[in-house]
Amino acid sequence: MENTTLRRRVLTTATATVAVGALALAGLNGVASADPSGTTAPAVSADSLSPGLLAALERDLGLDAEAAKSRLAGEYRAAAVAAGLEKSLGASYAGARVSGDEADLTVSTTDASEAALITKAGAKAEVVGHSLDRLEAVKDALDKAALGKAPKNVPVWYVDVEANRVVVNGATTSAAEAFVKAAGVSGKLVTVARSAEQPRALADIRGGDAYYMGGGGRCSVGFSVTRGGTQNGFVTAGHCGRTGTTTNGVNQQAQGTFQGSTFPGRDYAWVATNANWVPKPLVNGYGRGDVTVAGSTPSVVGASVCRSGSTTGWHCGTIQQLNTSVTYPEGTISGVTRTSVCAEPGDSGGAYISGSQAQGVTSGGSGNCRSGGTTYFQPLLPALQAYGLTLVTSGGGPTDPPPTTPPPTDPPGGGTWAVGTSYAVGATVTYGGATYRCLQAHTAQPGWTPAAVPALWQRL
């Protein structure tokens, strides 16, 4: 996968306040990219699309099979083009989104002279007043303010690339305004809106299958992974269990143990399974045929996305905002993606997938699958990197593997980068005689040197 698709912006999240805690229940052809970086989107076969996924798109988005295939092809192409343009535009890049049945791509820039480049790449150019970097700096300030104390009655905040604003939703406008003021953020780039959302964590080796926690409760498998080439397991939501929690599988037989879990802050975990469980590059289609996982290319705002979970099965919708922060009763979760897909307790941890591309695992939301709702997913890449995991795909090889050889704590040749340091987006460090800019907020871990992890660092 191209490095730019791994950047924080493509893995963004919005923030929301949650009212109920972590809940547990007792024909696509190959499409050539117009990416100015010179890459080509890998071919996607119509045969790789599950009938169940197509049926869910028809039910939830009103698309027949041919329209669904056409839209997925357009969205896949758009993701590749948007990644290339983000790299080419640099500081003037202001976000990307798709719209319409053909997934027409719009790319925003603050520099009118870049419009020709965007148009040449096959996208519609839109000149706006604020770069994505500037808007995300505002959102980062809101996230920082929420770390010490989650804001009361402020369920969600995010960067709206279409409006070119940061949106803060509150149960009342006064609550949202108070949060913005407390964060020391200028209101010039912020839109405050009222919202009735009450998101909560949906706690309830094939993606979407049920599993049961040893202490009680049910959640859903995200995606099959391996670690170190020998240990099998799966990723899921962090709120489903803590390190050491044991699990039984969908057949109620002994399955594995949580090896790592992060919640709140982020919402990811991984379970190492015993030898009786074989990881498959599949997501449960719940009676409509399994969906094959071919890779993990992130989709853009406006793209269709489907979710598989053990309570409600398959449901689809669209990606509304990236890089969202959401506040549950347990605390604020940052870096999640906001969607129009419905979900219910027990669906937590389940797979989010666009076409054949893994996107992330279900975190939480509001509403239900009878009246509709909003759901958030934890993007996949941060979980893979945090725990040194490799996604199992139909090609049999790794996708976006994290570094496997930890370097010494002190960077060779000297430098300012150091293990254990928390880096914000835009921070610069030196390492091995070169200077790097941080692309995604993180705490440095052994092996995550700037030279080894282009998803996190850009060489200047």
Contact status, residue 190 vs residue 178, Cβ threshold 8 Å: no
Active site residues: 239, 267, 348
- Cα–Cα distance, 87 to 7 (Å, whole number): 10
Question: Angle at which helices 132-148 and 173-182 pack, to 10 degrees?
Answer: 90
Residue 101 CA, distance from chain mean position = 23
Instruction: Give 173-177 contacts, CB < 8 A, sequence gap 24+.
Output: 175/151
Q: Which positions ≥6 away from 339 have C-beta within 8 Å?
A: 305, 307, 317, 318, 319, 320, 352, 374, 375, 376, 377
The CA-based diameter of the chain, rounded to the nearest angstrom, is: 61
Task: Measure Cα distances from 355 to 146, 174, 179, 242, 304 in Å.
Answer: 34, 41, 38, 31, 8
In 133-217, which ranges are E strands? 156-160, 165-170, 190-194, 200-201, 210-213
Q: How is residue 301 annotated by DSSP?
A: B
What is the sign, positive or negative, of the torsion defined by CA atoms of 257, 223, 454, 167? negative
Q: Which positions ≥6 away from 181 have C-beta within 8 Å?
A: none
Pull the structure tokens for residue 389.
């995991």
- Cα–Cα distance, 287 to 278 (Å, whole number): 21
- Cα–Cα distance, 37 to 427 (Å, whole number): 25
- Cα–Cα distance, 362 to 349 (Å, whole number): 5
- Cα–Cα distance, 38 to 21 (Å, whole number): 46
Pull the structure tokens for residue 332.
């604020």
